[in-house]
Amino acid sequence: SIIMQYIDAAMVGSLGADASAAIGLVTSSSWLLGGLCVSAVTGFSVQAAQFFGAGKTDKAREVFCQAFVMALGFGACLSVTGIVLSPRLPYWLGGEADLCIAASRYFFLFSCALPATQLRQFAGGMLQCSGDMKTPGMLNIAMCMLDIVFNFMLIFPTREIQIFGKSVTLVGAGLGVAGAALGTALSEVVIAVCMLAAACRRFLPSFAFRKEAWKPDPTYYRNAAYISIPVAFEHIVLCGAQVALTFIIAPLGMASIAANSLAVTAESLCYMPGYGIGSAATTLVGQSIGAGRRDLAKSYAWLSVFLGVGLMTVTGVLMFLFSPYVFQMLTPDPGVQALGVQVLRIEAFAEPLYAASIVAAGALRG
């Protein structure tokens, strides 16, 4: 995922600071909608993890059916919301007129893919809570690779490149910023179908024909709301702060917007391991609670937190040392590079305690 984000950012960055700034202008808003997708699933996946831990497989399958219906409806609602907001959002955030056109188009295409994003998050979360971390992991890696391939074809125009001294024509759509959004959207759709197929194979062997499992059950929705609403509120506050930060930075110009956006992308080298360990903590703690082993749940929680802090401290040190080289990969613009390195080195000091907050939150949800 980190490699994909770096390559993705470098592809857009090669088009110039204005292209990076156009995406950076709406990045925090896309995080907000994407975070709500994760929040909606969390309340159901934790229930399923606890049922698996208690050996109540049929109950876990019922949760799957209830969550499937929710994901279809909630993903559609988020998509419509994003599409309606897309024409005006970049202007509200204070972007320059030239940036707003490209940023609006990017956010529109991102919003169109939100139903697929929601279904991918739902299916992946359900597979993880059942103890299968490999299938969603491999499919998400495949999504990253597809994203790179689609972006390579859609961002750049048809061009000649040299391979071993021979000229080769590469066909491209030349869509620029819109191509980056479309490439991501297409990869989301493909992997959502694959992830959903894998989850259905695991959860619905002959069970799919029990109609009562698909009928909305207030108990499951109430339990999901108990977990999901606080998680959603957390995402709204955190991403709302990022949206406000974008509003503050936008008047400083394209270079500042681009540097901020690329610095957050570069920082993913540090915090992505934390989110991975946080997901593992949710599954392990949830299954331990379901099995009635609170002592084991506590041990897993502490182990996860210490592991997360240790890993993100190491990656924070690496990010501080190698930030100039990272920004040389992400953008050819010297002004953006200079600003980005400063931002990245300041962010490095936050990583150890950022890890504690990410992983502890995952354990507490379990």
Encoded amino acid at 106, one letter: Y
> How does pLDDT run across 60-115, given as a tens digit for each residue?
888 999 999 999 999 999 999 999 999 999 999 988 888 899 999 999 999 999 99
How long a stretch of residues is the chain? 366
What's the confidence (pLDDT) of residue 357? 94
pTM for the structure as a whole = 0.80
Neighbours of 159 (CB within 10 A): 11
Please enumerate in sequence order all residues whose Cβ is within 8 A of that of 350, keeping only pairs 6 or more positions apart, or say none: 316
Three-state SS for 333?
coil
Nearest to 305 by CA among 361, 267, 347: 361
Rounded to whole angstroms, how far apart are CA atoms 13 and 6? 10
Encoded amino acid at 203, one letter: F
What's the confidence (pLDDT) of residue 11? 83
What's the confidence (pLDDT) of residue 206? 57
Place of tokens 């992946």: 124
Token representation of residue 203: 């959860």
Token representation of residue 356: 């504690």
Encoded amino acid at 329, one letter: M
Please enumerate in sequence order all residues whose Cβ is within 8 A of that of 103, keeping only pairs 6 or more positions apart, or say none: 22, 23, 25, 26, 89, 90, 95, 177
Rounded to whole angstroms, how far apart are CA atoms 352 and 264? 16
Q: Left, alpha or beta for 148 (phi > 0: left; psi -120 to 50: alpha)?
A: alpha
Q: Left, alpha or beta for 174 (phi > 0: left; psi -120 to 50: alpha)?
A: left
Rounded to whole angstroms, how far apart are CA atoms 299 and 284? 10
What's the confidence (pLDDT) of residue 213? 73
Nearest to 313 by CA among 279, 252, 343, 269: 269
| DSSP labels, 196-262 | HHHHHHHH-TTGGG-GGGTS--HHHHHHHHHHHHHHHHHHHHHHHHHHHHHHHHGGG-HHHHHHHHH
Rounded to whole angstroms, how far apart are CA atoms 21 and 335? 13
Neighbours of 55 (CB within 10 A): 10
Average pLDDT for runs of 10 along the chain of length 366: 72 84 88 90 90 88 92 96 95 88 93 96 92 91 91 87 78 88 93 95 69 81 92 88 88 87 83 88 90 93 96 93 89 88 92 94 90
Three-state SS for 326?
helix
Token representation of residue 76: 């559609």
Nearest to 15 by CA among 162, 152, 147, 111: 152
Q: Are 147 and 69 in contact (CB under 8 A)?
A: no
